[in-house]
Amino acid sequence: MLKGKKLLLLGSGELGKEVIIEAQRLGIDTVAVDRYDQAPAMQVAHRSYVIDMLDRQALRDVVEREKPDLIVPEIEAIATAELVKLEDEGYRVIPTARAAQLTMDREGIRRLASETLGVPTAGYQFADTYEQFVLAAREMGFPCVVKPLMSSSGKGQSVCRSEEDLDRCWTIAMEGGRVQQMRVIVEEFITFESEITLLTVRTVNGTMFCAPIGHIQKDGDYIESWQPHEMTDAQIEEAKRIANTVTDALGGYGVFGVELFLSQDKVYFSEVSPRPHDTGLVTLVSQNLSEFALHVRAILGYPIPEIYVTTPGASRPLKAEAELAEYRVEGVEEALSIPNTQVRVFGKPVTKAGRRMAVTLSTGSSVSEARERAKQALDKLHIIGE
């Protein structure tokens, strides 16, 4: 049988599924790990495990059993201290164990970006108790943005617009965090014209950038993305400078999803994910190499001669409205009747309110045409309980 390098994926959602597929195309042995059974990447990986990834011993047991060449985190909620130890013992963590640890919570990466690297960010304060949170919000001024230190897909984020919102925003942050901790970040509310993801690819022969991806978020989670996003030359150069500064500090190889705010005269750093980004799903149809193909090539040390947009593209995620143990996605045939449109149904075992279950991907002669097609396709899709 084919004997290739072995990749162990920590977190097996829809992004991890695409990483596994790309790795297998290059002859890589793949292992998917997550906290629940039948996660999307598990459905295509060679082998899979269900563990609590915050359990240090459980994580170590899987690694020592599989002895992977590459450990690839796909989410933040991992026992990163154990990854540091495993890296010290000779295992290769992507991009590095330190990067995984720093970006696991918003405090580490925000302090690195703002206080160590000096890149422009929104003002911020941290709070460990409700009383500290109230004082921080009042000092930051209303409106302000409230986030748990660690969450995924924007869960737990809200905008606190007045004193009357304090209780509500604190509750949202407490319920939306990935781990049970009280600490939150309170951010200055920046008035921006748009927000983008600049996919930054660190390779053996230097750093490369994808064309900027524009996106719209609601409650911290993306509801639409498109590529390319229109920017001035000055904005693009500043965005690249910030992304390069942050990713150089994190080190390692692979794709980094760098989120930025664009105002009329300034570019602000927001967050970074040391892995493919959900808004980058659009690259499945818009680029010569998707962010997933780029990630796998980069971490394997394979060449990436060039990255370019082949056609304007857009994506729209389908989100569940309620929890369903059994469901089906209807309207796929109708969605695929929209010109230049694809649909990816993720195959998650159950739905939860706000959970992404599928995505529409469309291209067009212009970004506006692609966005309209992706919206039309999304309108055809429906989640039905069985």
> Looking at 12, 48, 273, 279, which residue is catalytic?
279
> Looking at 110, 275, 297, 356, which residue is catalytic?
356
Task: Indicate if 278 belongs to the active site.
Answer: yes
> Looking at 152, 247, 290, 360, which residue is catalytic?
152
Task: Indicate if 200 belongs to the active site.
Answer: no
> Looking at 252, 271, 360, 363, which residue is catalytic?
271
Task: Indicate if 356 belongs to the active site.
Answer: yes
> Looking at 11, 13, 154, 220, which residue is catalytic?
154
> Looking at 29, 34, 105, 278, which residue is catalytic?
278
Spell out the residues 6+ positions from residue 206 whose beta carbon is closer than 8 angstroms to its own. Answer: none
Task: Indicate if 313 belongs to the active site.
Answer: no
In the chain, the amino acid numbered 85 is K
Cα gap 160→16, rounded to integer Å: 33
Task: Indicate if 152 belongs to the active site.
Answer: yes
Task: Indicate if 279 belongs to the active site.
Answer: yes
> Looking at 98, 259, 316, 363, which residue is catalytic?
259
Task: Indicate if 364 belongs to the active site.
Answer: no
With b for 16 or more beta-carbon neighbours within 10 A and e for fewer, the 140-155 pattern comes to: beeebbbbbbbbbbbb
Active-site residue set = 152, 154, 259, 271, 278-279, 356
